[in-house]
Amino acid sequence: MMKWAITLLGFLVLASVAPRCAVAAEASAPYLWHNVSVGAGGFAPNIIFSTAERDLAYLRTDMGGAYRWDSREARWVPLQDSMAEGSYMGIESLAADPKDPNIVYLAAGMYRSEPAAILRSDDRGTTWRVTPVPFAMGGNEDGRGMGERLAIDPRNSATIFFGSRHDGLWRSDDSAATWRKVESFPLPGLGQPGRRQPTHGGISFVVIDPASGAIFAGSADPGDHHLFRSTDGGARWQHVEGEPPQTLLPTKAVIDRRGMLYIAYCNGIGPNGVTAGAVWRFDTKSDRWTDITPDKSHAGGFMGLSLDPSAPGTLAVSSIDRWMPGDTIWRTHDDGANWTDIRDLSQRDTRASPFLNMNGISADFGHWTAGVAIDPFNPGRAAYVTGATVYMTTDFAKPKAMLWKPWVKGIEQTAIITLTSPTGGAPLISGFGDIAGFVHEDLAVSPSHMFSNPYLSNTNNIDYAGRNPAIIVRSGSLHSNRSRDATLGWSQDGGHSWRPLRVPPMAAKPGEAERRYDLEGNAPIATSADGTTFIVATPIAMLTRDRGKTWLVPEGLGRDIRPVADKVDPKRFYGVDVEQDRLLTSRDGGLTFAPVAGQGLPADLAGARMVGREQPASLVASPFAAGDLWLRVGFELYHSTNGGVSFERVNGALSVRLFGLGKPAPGSDVATLFAIGVLGGKEGIWRSTDHGHSWQRINDDSHQWGLRFRVIAGDPRTFGRVYVGTDGRGLLYGDPRR
């Protein structure tokens, strides 16, 4: 069901009355916000150069919003940080006006079950007019590399078409303020699939011939026909005869001034699951099809397409999902009669994003190369997207060697699972989805290497020894969901180098065969305050005091309880037993646990239950005093200064979703509280320096990042500094405005 109120008049969608969303920081903003630098890091399905102005480009991402290249500042500018609707951070399509460089449109909607809208800006994305629409999108679903689904009529820029996934073709004649379904289009759409069914590709692209005005729309749904044409402005449509085989689905298309239409095909909608594909040229004047596929000898499809408008017949196309020998880009100067594979001509300089080298292994060409773009004002400059970065070269017109560099300054498009700010060493240690995690010695510089030994694509929890912060432990998981070796690691140099930690097999239930429960990434790890003891939360927790040589089972802890170490007293550990609604504590270094009074806590502790391996711990020990505990139960926060004997509720009127602790305010000995939550109907990032008696919102309406937050932590050494991990806009840190 749709989550917004909308009025329909026939098929007209009325424009949203919401005010424009400003991106520029407000002068009264209480905090200054910055990204911690990593450099891209996620999938950007397409990059688009403006044809209206030199050095203007846009990038769309699948969960981090859209970006604009600012040539004067030589950096990418995020365009949607002011938005509070998380779904709008998944960009289904992007269209830059071909004549007016100030106008740009976004089709925004992350998943088919979430709100969707068309966004229009007449100031290059500084502010937006938001028009909710009744058709669902999938900016972070399969098929997100196809497109572009948005197309602006070059003869009348107020007319825009949008090819939807599930509900056919839509049209606006008032610059996206209102929309109506094109009832004459032959494919009305398959409707939204069931909850557990795969998504639809739908209308994968709309392309308009600037010379003749003919409109072409491709369908990536199963069917007898996949290409449709209108020669009367969209009033009537016919399928195009003589298409490639039905098993090939069109993914992207471009048309040149001669009327040559080039189409990339896959046998799936991607970005995974594609095993075959092709590239075809269609002469719109003679209706003649020509197969110009550059390479038919390897599995995989084709998706990225770009023309050099200054040289008809010059075209670039990228492969997609070609795992062996890897994705590449081909270039032709003769309409596809001959192709050059630029993979073998390419070198990469990855100093802007060292993690691409995978700790010493040379960066590969990239995967999920769904988009490629040749600069229409400079054919020597080209860029392509990958599942981890954006590469750019100024050597594309050269016949041989090309140097590619990450084109990422300003782009931070990652999902942060966990983070910690230790009491010593680097100010921040992070755990990412897809790219492991990092030690951030300098928040403004991309780290020199990612976690390895073991390498785990996702880092799910990190802990440090409060009195010996050079000792770091972590747990993680692989995309395959199961490791053959280790999903736990420990470091004695602040996270710069690691050693694997392996837990012996166990039988978690009577009669069950023994197996390694630490191999699936579901076993968080904690370290004592002095770093001598590690406890791993396998179904039956295991403890080691010799770095994994020997293990024992703590007594009295029970099943499926996640131990938490005191950050000051190395003998103390704690755990929340949600099944029996009690708090457990150990005073002998984790050997034995016993219930503690927990006075002041609610009788039902179910709200403290950990759901999933990526959820931040509900129980947190302060690094500022022994026995200083903070426990979130549901949306309430409780504080104990005596190791759990008694608690006080401290969140006031704030509904707390996530929380973290930072250095006390000057003159105070109580940790500064940071929280993600709702107060007075306003969701945001909040701070309290008086034990939760009062709260200050420290983000503002220009800094909301879709309200897609996953973790928060204060800095124990710098008062007021807070670190926030988002789900799509990377790592953020905020400092009080002086």
Cα angle at 323 between 321 and 326, to 5 degrees?
A: 100
DSSP structure string for 83-144: ---GGGGSEEEEEE-SS-TT-EEEEE-SSTTS--EEEEESSTTSS-EEEE-SS---TTSTTT
Q: What's the pLDDT tens digit per position in 56-92? A: 999 999 999 999 999 999 999 999 999 999 999 999 9
Specify if 503 maps to a domain.
yes
- 671 lies in the same domain as 728: yes
- pLDDT bucket at 483, cuts 50 / 70 / 90: confident
- Is the Cβ–Cβ distance between 642 and 634 less than 8 Å? no
- 186 lies in the same domain as 259: yes
Note down the domain range covering 704.
Answer: 416-736
Give how many domains the chain has, as a whole number: 2
- 389 lies in the same domain as 438: no
326 pLDDT higher than 80: yes
- 598 lies in the same domain as 723: yes
- 507 lies in the same domain as 606: yes
- 343 lies in the same domain as 281: yes
Domain boundary among 360, 380, 406: 406
Dihedral of CA atoms 596, 597, 600, 604 in degrees, nearest 10, equals: 70
CATH code of residue 728: 2.130.10.10
Specify if 444 maps to a domain.
yes
The catalytically annotated residue of 62, 209, 321, 715 is: 62
pLDDT of residue 28: 55
Specify if 40 maps to a domain.
yes
Q: CB neighbours (10 Å) of residue 196? A: 5
Domain boundary among 406, 429, 460: 406
- Is the Cβ–Cβ distance between 300 and 247 less than 8 Å? no
Q: What mean pLDDT do residues 23-49 have?
A: 83
pLDDT of residue 632: 98
- 448 lies in the same domain as 394: no
62: annotated active-site residue: yes
pLDDT of residue 16: 37
- 399 lies in the same domain as 524: no
Q: What's the pLDDT tens digit per position in 231-287? A: 999 999 999 999 999 999 999 999 999 999 999 999 999 999 999 999 999 999 999
Specify if 521 maps to a domain.
yes
Backbone angles phi, psi at 625, to 5 degrees: -165, 145
8 pLDDT higher than 50: no
- 235 lies in the same domain as 321: yes
Dihedral of CA atoms 53, 137, 677, 672 in degrees, nearest 10, equals: -50
Looking at 51-55, 295-299, 597-601, 714-718, which range is the least confident one? 295-299
Higher pLDDT, 27 or 538: 538
Q: What's the pLDDT tens digit per position in 438-478? A: 999 999 999 999 999 999 999 999 999 999 999 999 999 99
Mention every residue, 6+ apart, whose C-beta is less than 8 A from residue 680. Answer: 653
360 pLDDT higher than 80: no
The catalytically annotated residue of 434, 530, 581, 700 is: 434
Cα angle at 137 between 64 and 84, to 5 degrees?
A: 45
Alpha-carbon gap, residue 260 to 202, rounded angstroms = 23
Specify if 261 maps to a domain.
yes
**Average confidence score pLDDT of the chain:** 94
pLDDT of residue 358: 78
Question: In this structure, what DSSP letter does residue 482 have?
Answer: -
- 394 lies in the same domain as 448: no
* Residue 660: its H or E element: strand 655-662
- 367 lies in the same domain as 420: no
Q: What mean pLDDT do residues 692-706 have?
A: 97
Computed over its alpha carbons, how large is the radius of gyration of the chain? 27
Domain boundary among 337, 371, 406: 406
Pairing assessment for the beta strands 260-266 and 277-283 based on DSSP bridges: antiparallel
15 pLDDT higher than 50: no
- 310 lies in the same domain as 179: yes
Specify if 103 maps to a domain.
yes
The contacts found for 477-480 with CB under 8 angstroms, 24 or more apart, are 477/520, 477/521, 477/522, 477/613, 478/521, 479/434
pLDDT of residue 361: 75
Structure tokens at 354: 């060292």
In 3D, which of 133, 121, 128, 124 has the Cα closest to residue 172?
133
In 3D, which of 336, 342, 316, 187 has the Cα closest to residue 249?
187
Specify if 2 maps to a domain.
no
Specify if 1 maps to a domain.
no
Handedness of CA 432, 435, 441, 443 (dihedral sign): negative
